[in-house]
Structure 1
Amino acid sequence: MKPTLLQVLYEPQVKLPIAFEYYWQLLNEMEKSKIHAQALFILKQNGRLKGTPAFFQQALHEKFQSILYQNILMKNQTDRLLCEFERGGLDVIPLKGTSFSEKHFGHIGARPTSDIDLLIKAYDMEEATNIVKRMGYAQKEKQAPNHFHTAFSKELPGSEIPLTVELHWDLLKKDTANLEISEFWKEAYPIDDSVYVKQLSDYHLFYMICLHGWRHNMVSLKYFIDIIQLILNLNIDYKRLIDDAKRHKTKKRTIRTLSIVYEQLPILQSINEFTEKIPTLYNQRNSPIKKYADFIDYSFLSFDSPKHSIIEIYHMLSSKY
């Protein structure tokens, strides 16, 4: 049985196949999730890149170069925005982005960044919007009352795709969870010599990344790799995580997400044991019936409160009409 991509990346005891066809399949799988750069740096760090065919290595390096140029631009644009927030005296936390790539993958270009996500405080929304607009970004959409972020964009010279900035005042819809975003702010700390530009604590970064993966139903391997990298790099207190998730009514979402990750890479149990498991249908997603059942489970059954499930059903129905 051929190893999965996650096994190739993270299980050094797994023997690398020699058939070229297998590596073409890996490249096709990477293309679906745009994870060439992550794969390149993880294979390098684990000393396994040289054990792969030359054409495979070249393909990863070529993809990495384009991601590197994009991320350098993203870092420049992010830094300019953060300087304006610092100058304006507004608290802000960059979410993911190039700093996440540098810290947890080892290089600014090791993880693609497609937009700029900033967490602000809800009462600073008007002033934050003014800062973003002064930097040349136009609001793309009206601020939805039941949502937790709004997007702005601007055209960049030489780029067909506009640059998007998302201002977040929360991480989940307020009426489908009891998440206390103030707890994330309380443990955040300043970046370098700044006063207002901050970063999440390691613990809340992990919590946020898990919720982010859940919101996208773990449809891409990039969500797996983000979570796995943090499990490897950080010592997460799972008891605290589950206790907090219980208070925040995000327990099912958190457990479901981590259950899927640990199912796909059981070696993680030897790094940080996770016992709060629930059955998932991730392995059967190729079956149309199981794929539909997985969607129902994700969309409506991964809420801690029946009330939150009903509200989510209402949101979904109202968005279609």
Structure 2
Amino acid sequence: MIIPMLQALYDPRSMLPLPTDSAFYEQAKEDIAFFGISSQVYYLLKKRGQLDQTPLFFRTWLEQSYTEALYLNLFIERQMHQILSLFEEQGIEVIPLKGVLLAERYFGHVGARATSDIDLLIHPSDLERAVNWIKSLGFILEQERIPSHFHISYSKPLPNSPIPLTIELHWDLLKERTANLNINEFWEEARPLEPYKHIKELSSYHTFYLICLHGWRHNLDSLKYFIDMIQMIHVLQDELDYSIFLKNAASHKTLKRITRTIAIVYHYFPHLTRIKEFPVKSTRLWWEYEAVRQQNDRTLKQYVNWIYYELFDFDSMKHTLWAMVGLISR
């Protein structure tokens, strides 16, 4: 139900009026809440001047959901800059990942993409110092560490909230021994984030790379990962050079992960070909919306998708074997 709506909102050639059937919006409301994309849908409708074409009950709910997410984003933004300022004082280099920075840079507003935590990339050599400093800010609840993983998480309780605020400290973007990704390349092309000296932000190219890998890591189990990629393709357009991107992915041994993930997004949102053609054509995608939306609806195709994700989305037998080891040890 929600995919056709998103297709219409993102397709620049689509000027069709929105449906008027209230049953459509009841289902759309359920889908939007399920995927946690109320902020994105609200902002797209408002940007296209179509918010007033929706029924009052839907519009009221969407505005309320957006406002709640906006206040949370503003709170998280203040917390993030408090952490960044502390790291700046201590000379610890940091790159914020996704979150409110992504919303501002590529969605156009801090409230246009909801977030719930803070993700930071740091150098492995700074990990111990970084942990000590975030603990000094009250992030004292450590989540269980996962062997071979690439980040650790700490949380702190929030007043009048059952959900704590979590910060993830990353030193890489993929599990150990499952790729040849060189995280130093991301650092080398990062640019300073004003007004800081030691705080940086990823280049547009590496931000898109991160978003693709992030979507793959979650097996595209939410439309929010689709929207992140679609939004960046719309914004970057010709700035995004797929030939260089795929060449580097082949070198990093992430090519299968990247190509299948992008191919799935292009399959469900074919208008993207008019904006930026993706040179890899793939017919074995396996991903199904129904299996993601209806979690109890498991088909053979969805099981094949899971097997591909767990074992066959790797560029070398060595990386596949390490993925199998990680799967068995869970």
CA deviations on 1:173-213 (whole Å, 9 max, x unpaired) are 12000000000000001111211111000000000000000
Say yes or no: does 1:237 pair with 2:237.
no
CA deviations on 1:245-298 (whole Å, 9 max, x unpaired) are 000000000001100100010000000000213220123753521111111111
**Is contact 2:288-2:302 (8 Å) kept?**
no
Within 5 A, what are the aligned runs for 1:231-270? Answer: 231-234=233-236, 235-270=239-274
Distance 2:101 2:326 in 1: 34
3-state DSSP class of the match of 1:174?
coil
3-state DSSP class of the match of 1:63?
helix
**Is contact 2:122-2:169 (8 Å) kept?**
yes
**Is contact 2:242-2:278 (8 Å) kept?**
yes
Distance 2:147 2:26 in 1: 46
Q: Which of 146, 156, 159 matches 1:157?
A: 159
- Residue matched to 2:280: 276
Shift of 1:141: 3.3
Distance 1:248 1:103 in 2: 26
3-state DSSP class of the match of 1:194?
coil
**Is contact 2:190-2:202 (8 Å) kept?**
yes
Counterparts in 2 of 1:269 and 1:133: CA distance versus 1, 3 Å: same
Counterparts in 2 of 1:2 and 1:149: CA distance versus 1, 3 Å: closer
- Residue matched to 2:295: none
3-state DSSP class of the match of 2:195?
coil
Shift of 1:3: 6.7
- Residue matched to 2:9: 9
Counterparts in 2 of 1:2 and 1:285: CA distance versus 1, 3 Å: closer
Distance 1:283 1:5 in 2: 17
Distance 2:165 2:288 in 1: 35
Within 5 A, what are the aligned runs for 1:1-321? Answer: 4-11=4-11, 12-234=14-236, 235-278=239-282, 279-283=284-288, 286=291, 288-319=299-330
Distance 2:168 2:289 in 1: 34
CA deviations on 1:118-146 (whole Å, 9 max, x unpaired) are 00011111111111111111252354441
In the superposition, the TM-score normalised over structure 1's length comes to: 0.95
3-state DSSP class of the match of 1:175?
coil
Counterparts in 2 of 1:292 and 1:171: CA distance versus 1, 3 Å: same
Counterparts in 2 of 1:284 and 1:44: CA distance versus 1, 3 Å: closer
Identity of aligned residues (%): 45
Counterpart amino acid of residue 288 in structure 2: N
Provide structure 1 residue ranges, at least 5 long, that are not aligned to the other structure: none
Distance 2:36 2:208 in 1: 21
